[in-house]
Amino acid sequence: MQLHDAQAPSDYLPSDLARAIANPLFPQIDALLRSGRHISSDDFQFHQFLSDAYDALDLFYRRYQVELIKAPEGFYYLRPKSTALIGTSMLSELDMLVGKVLCYMYLSPERLANEGVFTQLELLEELSNLADETQLLRMVNQRSGGSDLDKQKLKDKVKGSLRRLKRLGMLTFIAGVEKFSLNESVFRFGADVRTDEDPRAVQLRLIQSGEAIVHDADLPQADALQNNQDSDNEEQLGLEV
């Protein structure tokens, strides 16, 4: 039996896609995107690669029933369809709410005044000011009576949300974990504010009305993730927000 010579990628792939896949950066970028990572202009080299190879890679990922999205703000991420061949995981209600509040903070004048740096304390204060405390505490304990223990648990859960959003490329910790800067990809939580209205006002309305929180029907895996949300492996699969 005669074996045929191995074909080069360019023999059966479009040349622009073959070049993209052959690039030494591709394996790392592909792994990051599949893990749910958002690639913003802060990741200059990766961002430039995706910008140059976008058309070819968009067709590549569509074969997996996944879209390579370039958001209006310029960051890239994978958005799976219901038939996706790449696994997905879901963020919890608290993760979603923290993301919405971070987007609100990103739009604030304080971001410029603070050179883009916020503290965890400032985030907790914004959460308390913008969202109903009872609702927040019930995300930690459905039977919460507002005890100091429940409030401490909420603080711990918010820190966990920050760690998850950091792994998704939405923020960067500074000098430990008490301070962080926000990346443009936090606008993944701001799709609702892309209107002619003042974006900060729209985001505030969504948070205060509870519309910033995803309903159970939109989070079919939320309970499973909530039970394991302190695991280091939560973002091993693609993000679906």
Whole-number pLDDT of residue 200: 64
Does the pLDDT at position 46 exceed 70?
Answer: yes
Domain boundary among 53, 86, 119: 86
Q: Is residue 47 part of a domain?
A: yes
Same domain? 128 vs 180? yes
Does the pLDDT at position 208 exceed 80?
Answer: no
Tokens encoding 218: 């939109």
What are the pLDDT digits (tens) for 158-176? Answer: 999 999 999 999 999 998 8
Does the pLDDT at position 221 exceed 70?
Answer: no
Within 8 A by CB and 6+ apart from 189, the residues are 96, 99, 100, 102, 103, 212, 241
User: What is the residue-wise DSSP string for 39-52?
Assistant: B-TTSHHHHHHHHH
Using DSSP bridges, classify how beta strands 171-174 and 179-182 pair: parallel, antiparallel or unpaired: antiparallel
**Mean pLDDT of the region 16-41:** 96
Whole-number pLDDT of residue 195: 54
Per the structure, the complete domain to which residue 21 belongs is given by 9-86
Same domain? 169 vs 103? yes
CATH number at residue 130: 1.10.10.2260
Q: Are 91 and 224 in contact (CB under 8 A)?
A: no
Widest CA span in the chain: 76
Q: What share of the chain is helix, strand, coil (3-state, %, to 5)?
A: 55, 10, 35
What are the pLDDT digits (tens) for 124-145? Answer: 999 988 888 878 888 877 767 7
Give me the number of domains the chain comprises.
2
Whole-number pLDDT of residue 236: 33
